[in-house]
Structure 1
Amino acid sequence: MRRRTVLAAGLLAAPLSACSGGDTDGDRVFRQFDPADQAAGLVEAIDAWNAEHPDYRVTMETLSPNNPQQFAREANAGSGPDIAQLAFTDVSFMAEPRILTPLDDLLTGSPPQGADELLATDMTTYDGSMWAIPWTADTMALVYRPDLLERAGIDRTPQDWEELAETAARITEDSDGEIHGFVFAAGAQFSSAQWFPINYHLWAHGAQLIDADGDLWRVGVDPEQLTATIDYFAAFFTEGITPTAMQAVTDYGDPSIIGALDDGSCAMTFMPPAAFRTARDSVEAELLTAPMPAGLEDGATHLGGRALGINANCQEPEAAWEFVTHLLSPETFRTYPQYPASAGTLTQVDVDPSEQGFIDQLPHARSFARYADAPITIAALQELVNQQFSAVYSGQAEPAQAADRIITRLADELEE
């Protein structure tokens, strides 16, 4: 299946001799876009490489936030970094105008450790070729305070969505409302984190917003299924399990959520790894992670992460590939606090025991590639779903009415 590009037309890489437009003293350039405080361990990994490879030294360049259009412009002009960190969703946009080096021959000739167990290859493959290689992986995990579950007599984390609702209601009821059993960001903005559990609930119950039949797209959820999902999340507010104030919150790492974990008024929530680590360092009580409800079912949760691509103008793609395989190795992840996008390498990396929920869930997660090629963008899906779910939470719409609005809009967009 071909993916639609969002980059400007005509971005065909020119066969110029130069690459590493920002290099210094002949060093090759690796560009990444994560904040400096999240990339300190990556500097150590690159220093280790440079110590052993004086003839192919690499300088790390940080360009944050991620700007795929800038890389495209540079590559089209014959410059830019030799190796680039890419969001999974950016790979096809770089591959279509051929501003990346296809990796099939390099991958076959010199496969990195764990190459046979890579996650999210559906996001790095385009027109039958591999244009970048999955590097890091992340997902959402259930975050909880074990002391609060124990106080309510609960001896395991919820295994499915029905059990989550029951467990959260029990915690809230037993504490006379002083502890909210499950807290989640439920704002109406397109970026609101409620997008993730909404999809997880649908996927775990055999539905998804849209799906493809060959090159044709159709609505993938019926009114009854979607209404049931809306009812499910709305009940957290109508039953007082989640505080009403969460309807104005969009971020899973919002201070109000971390503060509730700290003061003991929140028993369970969900976060990705970076947000969890921030919360763990901020909260006085013990925090642990577990798979999301149904998180051990294949395809019931999402897989995000980063890939590595080689600029089409790179003069030494074989040497650049050696550096890429170094970044994919278990040695890199011993200092770099990310999870490898290889199920095999994942088992070789030591992580804090509190993060075990992520490790258990990641091999079962699947990317948003299921939506990536649709005529309606993922951002538009997010905006539509978050607005309509929030309209129900606030009493502005009934669940069946919101479901009908979502399905009608999806059908109209796909028909166009």
Structure 2
Amino acid sequence: MRRRSTALGAMTAIAALVLTACGGGGGGGGGTAGTALEGTGPITLVQGKDVSGFVQGILDEWNAAHPDETVTLIELPESADAQRQQMIQNAQAQSNAFDVLVVDNVWTAEFAANRYIVELPEDQFPVDDMLPPVIDSARYLDKLYAVPNSSDGGMLYYRTDLLEAAGITAPPTTWAELGEQCAAIQATPQGAGVACYAGQFEKYEGLTVNFAEVVNGAGGVITEDDGTPNVNTPEARAGLDFLVNGFASGEIPAEAITYKEEEGRRAFMEGRLIFQRQWPYQYSLANATDGSSSVAGNFAVAPLPGLDGPGVSSLGGHALGISTFSQNKATALEFIKFYTTLENSQKYLELASQAPIYTSIYDDPALQTEFPYLPVLKESILTAVPRPKVVRYGDATLAIQDAAYGALTGEMTSEEALTQLQTQLEALTTN
């Protein structure tokens, strides 16, 4: 299987598409836009919905020690696309309402190139202690524009009790094995009526991730190292066909076309799935013993399967950047230092099952005992393939979603979808 090791900090062939936003001004209630990290006072932390409940506790700790520089949490919708849109709208209005932005790692190039966020002093952060792919994802043109607070790698969640009931001793490593194991499990009394597999297939950023993973898992790419689109290939078709055929055969339940992370999490925790592609945040929630999960103690995680062997995760994760239009950048910088410490990264793991950013956490034997998925997660992140790192990422991900969703819903064949996507991506890199 072909694996990619693209350095996220490298400049791609589409650097010519860099767009620069206008500086200065104060529309939308904003002040003067500057890049100097000056100004102290209250700030806001802007992110998607805090489903873990962890974030406010960290803010309370900071606020107790900094009564004149308090941080207020602004929660945006669960959808990554909606979060990105609102952050961009705030920046385009040159509003100072948003100070610290929690950005998806794939937005770094776009936000930096358009001057929505400012460059950060890399020498003030322990970047050498962080997983290389994670810190690389926060750079643009070899400069640091955000500091990771969590990483992410896709893993295969599976029901250990159902595998055991069917006499299966190990989770699948290939898509063919996944189908065979589902058939064997569904033939048992314990597995009857339980759906085989699901990921995130609603038409949003999660579909881009799932599409990228199956393409990479079959040895294909979306773009080459230099940014050249190369998605209309037999390898990419094999990956997309895994999902298309899964929906057509019922191996993937029809309702999964509406799944984002949370819909899939609920399905797995309610015992409606044998296998699921999901991020690590689900682990602690699914193991809860308060009655909210019917699968607590009866699941484990493994690497994602691929066409001919273990598959490949897309690199996920989030980082904290400072809005160009923040009036209190000095406070924002100090808050980011506080939020992204080794200690808080470990708390993020312990309280929210978020993937840590520091190598030492993954290698701690005590933590590996407490969180047995850490070795799987570390390997997932270190071997992950980034989604296309392009300045016009918003346009690229929409093109990917349109093509993939069209194929999954039967509106077009896999070949038609990939032909369309190749054409659209070529237009984005040449116009």
1:365 and 2:384 aligned = yes
Query: What is the alpha-carbon distance in structure 1 between the residues aligned to residue 314 and residue 159 of structure 2?
Result: 23
- For the residues of structure 1 that align with 2:108 and 2:180, how far apart are their CA atoms? 41
Pick aligned residue for 2:303 from 291, 294, 299:
291
Opposite residue 417 of structure 2, the aligned amino acid is I
CA gap 1:366/1:185 in 2 versus in 1, 3 angstroms: closer
Match of 2:119 in 1: 102
Counterpart of 1:219, as a letter, is N
Instruction: Identify if the C-alpha distance between structure 1 residues 261 and 112 changes in structure 2 by more than 3 Å, giving closer, same or farther.
Output: closer
> Quick check: 2:399–2:424 contact (8 Å CA) kept in 1?
no
**Deviation of 1:36 (Å):** 4.4
With over 3 angstroms needed to count, the CA separation of the structure-2 counterparts of 1:227 and 1:307, relative to structure 1, is closer
Distance apart, 1:18 and its partner CA: 6.7
> Does structure 1 residue 167 correspond to structure 2 residue 181?
yes
User: Contact 2:399–2:425 (CA<8 Å) still a contact in 1?
Assistant: no
Aligned residues of 2:42 and 2:328 also touching (Cα < 8 A): no
- On the 8 A contact 2:240/2:404 being kept in 1, the answer is no
Larger radius of gyration: 1
Give the Cα separation in 2 of the matches to 1:227 and 1:302: 18
Give the superposition deviation at 1:377. Answer: 1.3
8 Å contact 1:253–1:275 — kept in the other structure?
no
Corresponding residue for 2:104?
87
Q: CA separation of 1:179/1:154 partners in 2, compared to 1, >3 Å: closer, same or farther?
A: farther
With 119-128 and 309-318 compared, the bigger mean Cα shift is at 309-318
Q: Distance in 2 between matches of 1:122 and 1:407?
A: 29
For 1:125, the aligned partner's letter is R
Check conservation: 2:50, 2:75, Cα contact below 8 A: no
Write out per-residue CA displacement over residues 170-219 of structure 1, whole angstroms, 9 at most, x where no aligned residue. Answer: 323456972546221586x52385654443232123202333546xx232
1:330-369 superposed matches below 5 A:
330-336=342-348, 337=352, 338-347=354-363, 350=367, 353=371, 355-356=373-374, 357-369=376-388
Between the aligned partners of 1:154 and 1:45, the Cα distance in structure 2 is 42
Q: For each residue in 1:55-95, what CA deviation from the matched residue of structure 2 results, as whole angstroms up to 9, or x when unmatched?
A: x6332231413221244146x35x34443322223333332
23, 30, 42: which one pairs with 1:12?
23
Q: Is the Cα contact below 8 Å between 1:310 and 1:317 reproduced in 2?
A: yes
Query: Are the equivalent residues in 2 in contact too, given 1:310–1:320 (CA < 8 A)?
Result: yes
CA deviation after TM superposition for structure 1 residue 129, in Å: 1.8
Name the CA shift for 1:3/1:345 in 2 (closer, same or farther; >3 Å).
farther
Q: Residue in 2 aligned with 1:201?
A: 214
Q: Aligned to 2:224, which of 206, 211, 232?
A: 211
Alignment match, 2:417: 406
Distance 1:13 1:137 in 2: 33
Q: Is the 8 A contact 2:224 2:230 kept in 1?
A: yes
Kindly indicate whether residue 238 of structure 2 is the aligned counterpart of residue 228 of structure 1.
yes
- Summarize the Cα distance change of 1:415–1:363 in structure 2 as closer, same or farther, 3 Å threshold: closer
Matched residue of 1:339: which SS?
coil
* Counterpart for residue 338 of structure 2: 326
Q: For 2:316, which of 296, 299, 304 is the aligned residue?
A: 304
Instruction: Give the 3-state SS of the residue equivalent to 1:210 in structure 2.
Output: coil
Q: Is the 8 A contact 1:211 1:370 kept in 2?
A: no
Distance 1:129 1:195, change over 3 A: closer
Q: Tell me if structure 2 keeps the 8 A contact 1:190–1:387.
A: no
Aligned 1:54-73 pairs, distance under 5 A:
57-65=69-77, 66=83, 67-73=86-92
Q: How many Å apart are 1:277 and its aligned residue? A: 4.7
* TM-score, normalised relative to structure 1: 0.75
Question: What's the TM-score once normalised by structure 2's chain length?
Answer: 0.73
Question: 1:208-262: per-residue Cα shift (whole Å, max 9, x none)?
Answer: 2333546xx232342x32443344334445655444x34653335437x745764
Distance in 1 (CA, whole Å) between partners of 2:310 and 2:90 is 34
Change (3 A) 1:267 1:321: same
Deviates more, 1:149-158 or 1:309-318: 309-318
Q: How far apart, CA to CA, are the structure 2 residues paired with 1:92 and 1:3?
A: 13
Percent sequence identity over matched residues? 20
Query: Do the aligned partners of 1:42 and 1:332 also contact (CA within 8 Å) in 2?
Result: no
Which position in structure 1 is the counterpart of 2:401? 382
C-alpha contact (below 8 Å) 1:118/1:342 kept by paired residues: no
Q: Is the 8 A contact 1:169 1:181 kept in 2?
A: no
Rounded Cα–Cα distance in structure 1 between residues aligned with 2:225 and 2:394: 11
Aligned CA RMSD, in angstroms, stands at: 4.0
Match of 1:184 among 185, 192, 198: 198
